[in-house]
Structure 1
Amino acid sequence: MYLELVSDRRQRRRRRILLTWLAAAGTCGYLLPWAVATTRGKAGADVLGLANLVLGWTVVGWLVVFVLACRRHGIAGLRVTGLG
């Protein structure tokens, strides 16, 4: 029996990643934090995308969302494996 850390990382979908990068390129980098969060599989990528859309017009808002998109994945819990 052993414990395994489980992160909040989501499975990445190619179509969604392509869409976010096309949106980032089409907006000249305005939606770049959303594309980075989606590519990295962040659990809150949709929330970060919305925050980027609403607050991204301020330089500080854009930087905050970008930093949040680049942060490492959090720990969601522990998984016990190998029982029995």
Structure 2
Amino acid sequence: MYLEVVTDKQDRARQALVAWAATFLTCGYLLPWAVATTRGKANAELVGAVNLFAGWTVVGWFAALTMAVGRHRVAGLRVWTEPGR
């Protein structure tokens, strides 16, 4: 029997590409959103909204960055058993 930790990580390849392009076009302003989408964070849209609307305050930008680099939440455990046992 094997246990696997399942997290809330999501595959966001296209959104990450758009986020990085926007980050370069805005000279790094949208960096927290790009980091969140690249890491597959479930709250990437929230990070983007905080970054867009409160990022102009330096505190808002660092808050969005902190949200982007935070740990993934554990969604549950998956139990694997060997066939025939």
Normalization by structure 2: what TM-score?
0.86
The residue number in structure 2 matching 1:44 is 43
Aligned AA (2:52): L
TM alignment of 1:1-84, pairs within 5 A: 1-13=1-13, 15-82=14-81
Runs of 4+ in 1 over 6 A off after TM superposition: none
Structure 2, unmatched stretches of 5+, are none
SS of the residue corresponding to residue 6 of structure 1 reads: strand
Deviations 1:46-77, CA, capped at 9 Å, x for gaps:
11101111111100010011011011212111
Larger radius of gyration: 2
Deviations 1:7-35 (A, max 9, x none): 1111231x221110111111111111000
- Matched AA of 2:24: A
73-82 vs 33-42, greater mean Cα deviation? 73-82
**Could you say what secondary structure the match of 1:73 adopts?**
coil
Identity %: 57
Alpha-carbon RMSD across the aligned residues, in angstroms, is: 1.5
